[in-house]
């Protein structure tokens, strides 16, 4: 009973901490969406981009006790790699952000993981931090990077989402082939340098939004999981208390019967 009471106190405290973090993360997440939406309108989102080198970035958590959000990201990441790897000469690789995702994907995709990034979600996510992770991604050779993460909808709802970002070279080829950029007048002599800067900034901004979305979803999932754990601990504690009281009552009844029987024997 004492052990269950201690667990109940811990889960209740973790629920309150997760709720407080979720409120702060939700505000930052909503602001980051305003950074990504203009880039999506400008460049478009091309999840079906037919390129040679495909990189799937699984954005997961570094801590557990947050439900099945990491399992969902791992499932969608495997499905994405399987979908883009069809065809001759296609290369599909992983970059895993978060310890929990690495432990799941390494079971069947060890040879396809080219880089892992840990301890990102243990501190407050900032844009320079996301830009540092984006630099790691740019060091790997890819034509299209697909970021798989949990998009925050509400405290009880978060959806696995895929955001596609083209590499600077692929973006330039797409612009030359006639993309949405042709609708805009671009000033400056060096168009290639502008497209490269735009592609790198888009990758960093999209990754920043993905980290915030997934972090907010993590806190919401942990809050829900700890609430359920607290309820379960309350039910178990009630059952243990009932069993304890019944056993104690039976012991007292047995002792009374023995005392009465002994007194009756002495009187006889």
Catalytic site positions: 66
CB 240 within 8 A of CB 1: yes
Q: Give the pairing type, strands 91-97 and 113-117.
A: parallel
CB 216 within 8 A of CB 152: yes
DSSP state letter for 9: H
CB 25 within 8 A of CB 219: yes
Give me the count of residues in the chain: 268
CB 225 within 8 A of CB 65: yes
Best CA proximity match to 150, nearest among 41, 77, 84: 77
CB 7 within 8 A of CB 233: yes
For residue 73, give every residue at least 6 positions away whose Cβ sits within 8 Å of its Cβ, in sequence order, or none.
Answer: 58, 59, 60, 101, 148, 149, 150, 160, 214
3-state secondary structure of 68: coil
Residue 185: φ, ψ to 5°: -95, 120
3-state secondary structure of 210: helix
- Residue 27: CB atoms within 10 Å: 12
**Packing angle of the helix pair 168-176, 191-267 (nearest 10 deg):** 130
């Amino acid at each position: 009973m004492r052990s269950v009471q201690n667990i109940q106190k811990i889960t209740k405290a973790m629920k309150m901490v997760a709720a407080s973090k979720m409120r702060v993360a939700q505000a930052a997440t909503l602001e980051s969406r305003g950074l990504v939406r203009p880039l999506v309108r400008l460049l478009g989102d091309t999840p079906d981009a037919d390129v040679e080198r495909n990189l799937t970035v699984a954005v997961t958590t570094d801590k557990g006790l947050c439900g099945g959000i990491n399992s969902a990201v791992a499932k969608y990441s495997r499905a994405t790699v399987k979908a883009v790897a069809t065809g001759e000469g296609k290369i599909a690789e992983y970059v895993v952000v978060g310890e929990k995702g690495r432990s799941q994907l390494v079971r069947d995709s060890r040879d396809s993981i080219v880089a892992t990034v840990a301890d990102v979600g243990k501190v407050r996510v900032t844009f320079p931090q996301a830009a540092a992770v984006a630099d790691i991604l740019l060091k790997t050779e890819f034509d299209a990077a697909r970021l798989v993460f949990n998009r925050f909808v509400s405290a009880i709802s978060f959806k696995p989402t895929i955001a596609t970002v083209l590499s600077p070279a692929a973006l330039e080829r797409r612009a030359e082939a006639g993309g949405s950029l042709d609708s805009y007048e671009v000033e400056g002599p060096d168009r290639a340098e502008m497209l490269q800067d735009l592609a790198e900034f888009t990758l960093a901004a999209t990754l920043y939004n993905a980290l915030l979305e997934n972090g907010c979803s993590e806190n919401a999932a942990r809050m829900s999981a700890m609430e359920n754990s607290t309820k379960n601990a309350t039910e178990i504690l009630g059952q243990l208390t009932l069993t304890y009281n019944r056993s104690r009552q039976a012991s007292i009844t047995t002792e009374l019967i023995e005392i009465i029987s002994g007194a009756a024997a002495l009187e006889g």
